[in-house]
Structure 1
Amino acid sequence: MSYRKRLPAKRLGLGLVATALLVSSFSGALLSQDSPTPDQGDHELHDRANNEAYAWANNPADRKWRVELPVSVRNLLTLTGAGTTRRADRVDNDPASGLALAGSTAMFADATGSALWPNCTPIRVTVDTVESSADSTAAALATRDAITELGELTGLEFTPTTDSTHTVGDNPAPQPNTIQIIWVNRDTGLLEDHELGAAEVWHRKVVDRLIVFQAIVLLSDEILTKHDLDTNTGGDFIRTTLIHELGHAVGIGHSVDDGSVMYPRLNRKASVTTADRAAFAYAGSRGC
């Protein structure tokens, strides 16, 4: 049996995606700061409910760290070792509790642990731009840079393909072991008003752990048409948006910290915080 975090039907326009899948109701969507107040309230309420339902959960297989962990990250993850500070109010070597206290959440978790990609096999990433009016070269470049950064943050190995010509309607789901990134026009109805992107993640239970095995990320052309990749401000905005959605694709949920790159509503102060670095490192720590 496989499971997924599901986008509402309007956003994908696909009835077949739900076939033979047990569906949960969370959408990993990112709003622009231009979104009106009523939308903000609705989405924040939904996100808070999700944070309560999908706190990070540890699994014994999640200690195969693939990136260097600065002392600040090790402290947050409650890991012991040289330079770290032990706290009487925390349990040692309990990353899930450290992430929870920092306001980070998982896309999905249960008693066996969080749903994560195994880090022993390269993950194929396809980048599709044919459904968007955005500059295909700029879209491919921005996506490639974000994938590279995602690999540096998680330690996961990605093999991107930027010359794909698939559209949302071609495949109800991506191929196994694949993250499919599709740039779409903002007015197609695939994303709600002021949504910059959304992610859908599939996972299944394998023996004693939850494994993510495929994901779809939709990115709005508004990301590129309203911002210049070649300027510092525009480049930071684009980078933040793409890292947010790719974070969902590797199993990271929203953060309650409005300075986090994983906060559900984009703002100018968003960045990759210490808690974000800890979450990305944890997302890449699932051994095989």
Structure 2
Amino acid sequence: MGMQQVHPSPTPVILIIGAADTGRAPIAVALLRRLAQERGHTWQIASAGVVGHDDDPLQPAARDALAVMGLSIDDHVARSLTDDLAHTAHLLIAVDSGIARVLRSRYPQATIYSLGELAGRSRDIPDPAGMQIGAWLHYSREMEQLLKAGFERMTTILSGNNVVEESPSLASPPPPPPPPPSERQEVCARATRLLDAIQAMPDVIDWPAARGRLQATLAELIPLATEPTDLTMLYVEALNRWLDRQTSTPSADRITRLRTAIERGQHPVGQSEVADLMRWPD
């Protein structure tokens, strides 16, 4: 991935590079700092961005996602990647492969990996800017898994040892990709991500607004019912009537029950499922 440079600092320096340095990159910094501390490493870990958003704070949804995960980086201020910063880093970690390509064109002698490359996976974490906190939590947890999977490789790189890359010709063929989710599955996934956010921060979420968004999302299932025996319309109406009766954020037990009901909506539903919903207590 490039030759290592000679660095003035004896302590390994890792720079995680994002686009604006207000979302994914600082989240990855907080996650990696915790991992390094847990494993007894004293690495210097910081972030920067390839586009100029200097002095901007962390995005609010990113801050809230970190809080849910027991982390904070409240003093973070975005900065642009400079030549001096790049040259002091022992390892540059790009949050996605597109940013990795930009870095390699700028700094061909630097040691550069994307998060997916470190983990040995063909995966880029999407930028959740503008999305709800549920998406930020989902992608933050995925970044944490990639960092854990790539931690041994990071340790090898920072120790000065060569990383043996697997030859594509000798590698095992990748498993076939999973089938794409159906439209119903995508709608239900969006609804359950919203439930994640409600359950994670019940005192922060505006329940009436969240309930309205959840009901609107569930209503998207109705036109997706194509079989005569599929009672999805009645099922969604029963769910939304139950939600109407919830004047405050539901308890954890009720959210769990609601999650199960939403997951059931990924497939056609029958009379027994509708009848069960209609018996739910207020």
Looking at CA atoms only, which structure, 1 or 2, has the larger radius of gyration?
A: 2
Name the one with the larger strand percent. 1
Same fold (TM over 0.5): no
Normalized per residue, the structure richer in helix is 2
